[in-house]
Structure 1
Amino acid sequence: MLRRRAAPLGKMALEAAYACLGEQRGIPMVFSSRHGDVARAVELLGQLAQGETLSPTAFGMAVHNATAGLFSIARSERANHVALAAGASSLEHAVIEACGLLADGAPQVLLVAADCPLPEVFGAFADCDEQPFAFAWLMAPAAAGGLRLSWEGCAAPEAARAVTEQGPGELDVLRFFLARQTELTRQAERRRWRWQRDV
């Protein structure tokens, strides 16, 4: 069922989730994707414009929480799951959501971040060198040596930022995490995010 229904974005996200979670059950999940399965949505809109009847299954798989829902159905999982999109700050907002679940008593939270490049029709809206990616973190409260995330408001760019050769901001954060760096600061829209590792 997973292979047949999931689009490339969903397959990547599910692969990351399964690899991270293994056989553990009952763990809430936060799914983060800036664009979601926009390619499937564009395809459906094209069909609608041509007067074609939409497949209920295809429509259901185009919604933003489809991958999280598919994961929970395939595993008969009853734990809470949430899907969010928050622009270039999607990962940071997913971490905040996961921390809220931890503060509410969850011992662990699965965070899955995944995205695919925008379809060509939306290419003008790309603000970085978009690449497909997916990764997952199993988050728990840190006793010592954990990560901290803070932000401050900042002025919006004066003009729309040109497409940079830099990849998605989520990958900057992943590199920071894997390289065990002590600090990363990045700007996304009107926020300056600061990631810090306690040493």
Structure 2
Amino acid sequence: MSKKPLSSFTRPLVGLIVSQGVLAILFGIAALFWPQATVSIIAVLFGLFVLVWGISLLIQSLLNLGKISLWWLELIFGVALLGVGVYLVRNPEVTLMWLVLLIGFTLVIRGLVDIVQAFFSKEPAVVANKWLYAFSAAIGLVAGIVVLTYPAASGLAFVWVLGLYAVIEGVVLIVLASKFQELLED
């Protein structure tokens, strides 16, 4: 099977995906090894992660405009993520319960969007990495459901679930970025 060059990914977008992956890993490590961190620190770290994620999706959706049928999903989710990210960064005093709900819904929505993308996108980079997208989506969906199912028992368990998800997602993003880079070079 010959590799098709990416039509919609540019080198800066690959860099943003790597940045998102690195931020996710750093956030995950902080959550796993610094579980007593204040809500403010977790909110700001997660807010920065979500901001980069939203920017990545906005750029990706604009590059995919008219090229793939699901570009609008990325646009809508990118705008939503920017809003959540800005809110979390500007309001670090947000209560733990609201933070838990925001993160839980974000993970569930991200998981659902990624499942749709994994199985219906015609983008060569997604088609070539369908199962990696699906794996990432499943991890996010499960993490979101766990967080939403037990929001009151958030404490340490919540921080660990979120941290573990962030580390796994960060690694997946960096692997995907390297695969996108390979496709760019062909």
TM-score, normalized by length of structure 1? 0.28
User: Which of structures 1 and 2 has the larger relative contact order (alpha carbons within 8 angstroms, sep 6+)?
Assistant: 2
TM-score, normalized by length of structure 2? 0.29
Query: Which structure: greater helix fraction?
Result: 2
Q: Which has the larger radius of gyration?
A: 1
Query: Which structure: greater strand fraction?
Result: 1
